[in-house]
Amino acid sequence: MFNLLKNKLTNFVDAIAKKVTGGEKKEELKEEIKETKPEPVKEIIKTVEFEKEELREIPKEIKIQPALMAKPVQVQPVPKPQPIPKVQSEKPSVEAEKAVDNQLEVKPTLLTKLKGLVLPEVTIKEADVKNVIDDLELQLLEADVAMPVAEFIREDLRSKLIGRNVKYSNLDGFVKEGITQVLFDLLKQDKFDISSFVNQRKKPVKILFLGPNGHGKTTTIAKFANMLKKNGFSCVISASDTFRAAAIEQTMEHAARLGVAVIKHQYGADPAAVAFDAIKHAEAKGIDVVLIDTAGRQETDRNLIEQLKKISRVVNPDLKLFVVEGIVGNAVMGQVSQFNAAIPLDGVVLTKVDCDAKGGTVISIKKATGVPVLYLGMGQGYDDLIPFSSDFIISKLMA
């Protein structure tokens, strides 16, 4: 009875499936497909056969018209890489590293000390270096580094130290080395050599000195004249400070001691005319360098700044040097920035660095303006002018 019911149910389901799928006409459809070729299929076959015949008639050698030929590609020569300018050195000197080591102390946390006893490496946390970074920031501010620049150095150090894995025994040295390198990277620049500069330019080479009054321009010019003479160059001084009382007499006194000629006019004369005459004198006498003095002026005195622009247009100097005291503090940044905006500067001579100035002004100038400091005045003697050195400034900062 169960089997009978099962068979009936199966037959019933099969019947329904045939009606849904059209199974009753399946065999009939097969026969119709065999006997019938749809017209579209016949057309496709004909087309293919026609194309075969056409291909047989195509010649073996196909001639391409010249107008259709591709033009040869112009290959541009690869430019030679430019040499990287050499800086003073790739790493700070031993003296600079010793200065940082003697002045600063790394105080890791108790947890880091415990980890250092059992783990091969420790991860530097902010608490491990907060004390030494705070001490460094205070040291920079005391050395006349501007507050925004000191804050930049602080954040730069944090990003380079925190999260680094080091051996605990190397933690102190790693942190201090990082501090020294950050300061060195801020200060390093292309080496400037006055002899190479003069030799590479058409004579006479014209050097224009400018800056605030009372910061040592005239004395610096005398030091330059002495340095040039010792390097085998002849020079003449243009007494273009026709404004300050006794400026011309001071220039003539320095020149007499050094055996250098001076071109001068009367007080109140056009400074640009004095400089022009000095250049013509140098051309006629075959003199190598013209050192051009100017009246001291503040960056806020627009009339004197315009006068300075006129001198620069007439002279077209090869080198424009801003002379400023190293002991004026953060005010020097505004002075250099505004003079540089009026007359693009080539370099800075920092004077009176021997007067207890720790050199922080150099970092502020370079970070705020990008103008390189080329020379440091270290006294009143003619030989007391030294080339800029990153290691020397770092040593003074940490003194």
Helix (H) or strand (E) run with residue 282 in it: helix 271-285
What is the SS3 assignment for 150?
helix
Judge if 178 and 211 occupy the same domain. Answer: no
On whether both 180 and 198 belong to a single domain, the answer is no
Residue where one domain finishes, among candidates 187, 214, 239:
187
How long is the chain?
399
Residue with tokens 């250092």, as numbered in its chain? 116
CA atoms within a 13 Å half-sphere pointing along the CA-CB vector of 24: 7
Domain CATH for 227:
3.40.50.300
Residues 154 and 244 in one domain: no
Looking at residue 246, its pLDDT comes to: 85
Q: Do 332 and 264 reside in the same domain of the chain?
A: yes
A 10 A CB-CB count for 32 gives 10
Q: What pLDDT shows up at residue 379? A: 85
Number of domains in the chain: 2
Spatial distance between the Cα atoms of 160 and 187, rounded to a whole number of angstroms? 18
Closest CA to 225 of 264, 265, 272, 258: 258
DSSP-assigned letter for residue 165: E
**78 burial class (0-12, 13-18, 19+ CB within 10 angstroms)?**
exposed
Among residues 187, 222, 244, the one where a domain terminates is 187
The gap from C-alpha 293 to its chain's centroid, in whole angstroms, comes to 31
Each residue's pLDDT expressed in tens, for the chain with a length of 399 residues: 545 554 655 565 455 545 544 554 445 444 544 444 444 444 433 444 444 444 444 444 434 344 333 344 343 343 333 333 344 456 777 877 887 888 888 999 999 888 888 888 999 999 999 999 999 999 888 888 888 888 999 999 999 999 999 999 999 999 999 999 888 888 888 888 999 999 999 999 999 999 887 788 899 999 999 999 999 999 999 998 888 888 899 999 999 999 999 999 998 898 999 999 999 999 999 999 999 998 877 766 677 788 888 898 999 999 999 998 877 666 777 778 888 888 889 999 988 888 766 778 888 888 878 889 999 998 889 999 999 988 888 888 887
Write down the pLDDT at residue 132.
92
- H or E element in which residue 348 lies: strand 347-351
248 within some domain: yes
Cα 125 to the center of its chain, rounded Å: 30
Q: Are residues 251 and 145 in the same domain?
A: no
CA distance 230 to 244: 30
Instruction: Examine the domain organization and report whether 214 and 126 are in the same domain.
Output: no
Considering the domain architecture, whether residues 164 and 207 belong to the same structural domain is answered as no
Do 380 and 314 lie in one domain? The reply is: yes
What is residue 282's predicted lDDT score, i.e. its pLDDT?
95
- The residue range of the domain holding 179 is 94-187
- What separation, in Å, do the N-terminal and C-terminal C-alpha atoms of the chain show? 113
- pLDDT of 48 reads 40
Say what angle helices 171-187 and 94-103 make with each other, to 10 degrees.
120
Looking up residue 167, the CATH number of its domain turns out to be 1.20.120.140
Q: Which of 228, 284, 307, 301 is nearest to 260 (CA)?
A: 228
263 membership: H or E segment, kind and range: strand 261-263
Per-residue pLDDT, 50: 40
Q: What is the pLDDT of residue 53?
A: 46
Where are any strands of DSSP class E within 86-137? 122-123
Is residue 337 domain-resident? yes
